[in-house]
């Protein structure tokens, strides 16, 4: 699968494996073999020691929510269809996104599409999961454990 099939519109990258593994339900990071620095999202080149000898490793999608916010104009695939609205076929509703700290201090960003925004709290345990959108692209969602 190409990286352009992730929810971002990127067609060229050295880390296409990230999207292949994500589509298979796995979160992958890279580790520099020289200095040991971990990267998520994966990088092909270490920004710490400038080497390109990286190793892939699977990481857990479970962690602690460190921050979140609401996006008031989310991407169209998160919009609610409203066929009766004048001048627009969609209505945008605020959609929360969060940053989940997982093993080794790595952070996974994802959408929080389910649940009441008022019940989301920093420090709560959540799980990141890959999610295939109706257009076939893959994104990441966060859900309380």
The reported pLDDT for the residue numbered 116 is: 79
The reported pLDDT for the residue numbered 63 is: 97
Q: Same structural domain for residues 19 and 39?
A: yes
The reported pLDDT for the residue numbered 102 is: 97
Q: Same structural domain for residues 7 and 69?
A: no
139-142: long-range contacts, CB 8 A cutoff, minimum separation 24: 139/6, 139/7, 139/110, 139/111, 140/22, 140/108, 140/109, 140/110, 140/111, 141/110, 141/111, 141/112, 141/113, 141/114, 142/65, 142/98, 142/100, 142/108, 142/110, 142/111, 142/112
Q: Same structural domain for residues 78 and 65?
A: yes
The reported pLDDT for the residue numbered 137 is: 80
- Pick the last residue of a domain from 59, 82, 100: 59
Question: Which domain covers residue 18, as residue numbers?
Answer: 1-59
pLDDT in tens, 95-142: 889 999 999 999 999 999 877 788 999 999 999 999 988 778 888 999
pLDDT in tens, 6-36: 555 555 567 788 888 998 999 999 999 999 9
Q: Same structural domain for residues 65 and 92?
A: yes
Q: Same structural domain for residues 42 and 67?
A: no
> What pTM value is reported for the model?
0.78
Q: Same structural domain for residues 49 and 83?
A: no
The reported pLDDT for the residue numbered 113 is: 85
pLDDT in tens, 35-65: 999 999 999 999 999 999 999 999 999 999 9
Model confidence band, residue 89 (pLDDT cutoffs 50, 70, 90): low
The reported pLDDT for the residue numbered 107 is: 97
Q: Same structural domain for residues 35 and 98?
A: no
Q: How many separate domains does the chain show?
A: 2
The reported pLDDT for the residue numbered 86 is: 60
The reported pLDDT for the residue numbered 28 is: 95
- Pick the last residue of a domain from 20, 38, 59: 59
Residues 6+ apart with CB under 8 A from 40: 27, 28, 29, 30, 59, 102, 106, 107, 108
Domain of residue 78, CATH code: 2.40.50
The reported pLDDT for the residue numbered 138 is: 86
């Amino acid at each position: 699968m190409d990286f352009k099939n992730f929810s971002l519109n990127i067609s060229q990258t050295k880390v296409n494996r990230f999207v292949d593994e994500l589509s298979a339900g796995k979160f992958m990071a890279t580790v520099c073999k020289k200095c040991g620095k971990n990267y998520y999202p994966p990088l092909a080149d270490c920004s710490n020691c400038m080497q390109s000898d990286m190793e892939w490793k699977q990481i857990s999608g479970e962690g602690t929510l460190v921050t979140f916010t609401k996006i008031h104009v989310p991407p169209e695939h998160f919009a609610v269809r409203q066929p009766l609205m004048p001048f627009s076929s969609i209505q945008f509703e605020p959609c929360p996104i969060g940053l989940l700290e997982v093993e080794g201090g790595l952070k996974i960003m994802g959408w929080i599409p389910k649940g009441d925004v008022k019940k989301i709290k920093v420090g709560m345990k959540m799980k990141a999961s890959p999610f295939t959108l109706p257009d076939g692209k893959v994104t990441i969602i966060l859900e309380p454990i």
